[in-house]
Structure 1
Amino acid sequence: MSLTAPDAQQALERLSSLRQHQQDGRRSPHKPLLALLALGRLAATGTSSLPWSDAEEKLADLIEQFGPTSKTGRAQSAAYPFTRLRSDGVWTLDRDVPMDNVGPLREGVTGRLEASLEAALRDRPALLDEAARGLVESHFPSTVAPDVLVAVGLDPDLLTGGVAKDDGAGREERRRSRVWPAAVLEAWDRQCAFCGFDGQAGGVPVGLEAAHIRWVNLGGPDELDNGLALCSLHHKLFDRGVLGLDDDLTLVVSRRFSARTPHGRAVYDLHGHRLRPRPGTPLPAQQHLLWHREQVFHGTPLAA
Structure 2
Amino acid sequence: MSLNDPSARQLLDQLASLRQHQQDGRRSPHKPLLVLLALGRLAANGTSTLPWSEAEEQLADLLEDFGPTSRTGRAQSAAYPFTRLRADKVWTFDQDVPMDTVGPLRQGVTGRLEASLEAALKDRPELLDEAARSLVESHFPATIGPDVLVAVGLDPDLLDRRGIAVDAGTQEQRQRSRIWPAAVIEAWDRQCAFCGFDGAAGGAVVGIEAAHIRWFKLGGPDELDNGLALCSLHHKLFDRGMLGLDEDLAVVVSQRFSARTANGRAIYDLHGNRLRPRRGTALPAARHVVWHREQVFQGVALIG
**TM-score of Structure 1 vs Structure 2, range by shorter chain:** over 0.9
Matched with 1:281 is: 281
> 1:107 matched to which residue of 2?
107
Deviation by residue 1:51-82 (Cα, 9 ceiling, x = unmatched): 00110010000001000000101100000000
Aligned partners of 1:247 and 1:286 also within 8 Å: yes
Name the counterpart of 2:197.
Answer: 197
Give yes or no for contact 2:55–2:78 (8 Å, CA) kept in 1. yes
CA shift, 1:5, in A, is 1.5
2:253 corresponds to which residue? 253
Contact 2:200 2:206 (8 Å CA) reproduced: yes
Task: Name stretches of at least 5 consecutive residues in structure 1 with no aligned partner.
Answer: none
**TM-aligned CA distance change 1:183 to 1:58, over 3 Å:** same
**Which residue does the alignment assign to 2:87?**
87
Gaps of 5+ in 2: none
- Per the alignment, residue 132 of structure 2 pairs with 132
Which AA in structure 2 matches 1:220? G
- Percent of residue pairs identical: 77
Give the Å deviation of 1:2: 9.8
CA shift, 1:299, in A, is: 1.0
Code of the aligned partner of 2:79: A
Other-structure match for 2:235: 235
User: Are the equivalent residues in 2 in contact too, given 1:19–1:167 (CA < 8 A)?
Assistant: no
| 1:251-294 Cα shifts (integer Å, max 9, x gaps) | 11111111111111110100010000001111101100000000
Query: Normalising by the residue count of structure 1, what TM-score does the alignment of the two structures yield?
Result: 0.96
CA distance in 1, matches of 2:206, 2:152: 31
Q: How far apart are the structure 2 equivalents of 1:2 and 1:195? A: 47
CA RMSD of aligned residues (A): 1.7
CA deviation after TM superposition for structure 1 residue 165, in Å: 3.1
CA contact (8 A) 1:253 1:268 kept: yes
Question: Per-residue deviation at 1:109?
Answer: 0.5
Q: Is the partner of 1:18 in helix, strand or coil?
A: coil
Q: State whether residues 3 and 163 of structure 2, in contact with CA within 8 Å, keep that contact through their aligned partners in structure 1.
A: no
For 1:250 and 1:205, the matched residues in 2 are separated by: 25
* Aligned twin of 1:148: 148
- More off after superposition, 79-88 vs 15-24: 15-24
In 2, the alpha carbon distance for the partners of 1:27 and 1:234 equals 21
Which residues in structure 2 correspond to 1:168-247 (within 5 Å)? Answer: 168-169=168-169, 173-247=173-247
Q: Is the 8 A contact 1:165 1:173 kept in 2?
A: no
**Which range moves more in the overlay, 12-21 or 175-184?**
12-21
- Taking the aligned partners of 2:197 and 2:117, their CA distance within structure 1 comes to 47
98 and 182 in structure 1: CA distance in 2 versus 1, 3 angstrom threshold: same
Partner SS state of residue 210, structure 2:
strand
Contact 2:41 2:153 in 1 (8 A): yes
Structure 1 residue 167 displacement after superposition: 3.8
Find the aligned partners of 1:275 and 1:291 in 2 and give their Cα distance: 18
Shift of 1:164: 5.4
CA apart distance, 1:18? 1.7
* Structure 2 SS opposite 1:228: strand
Give the distance between the partners of 1:138 and 1:256, measured in 2 at CA: 25
Instruction: Tell me whether 1:67 sits opposite 2:70 in the alignment.
Output: no
Contact 1:184 1:227 in 2 (8 A): yes
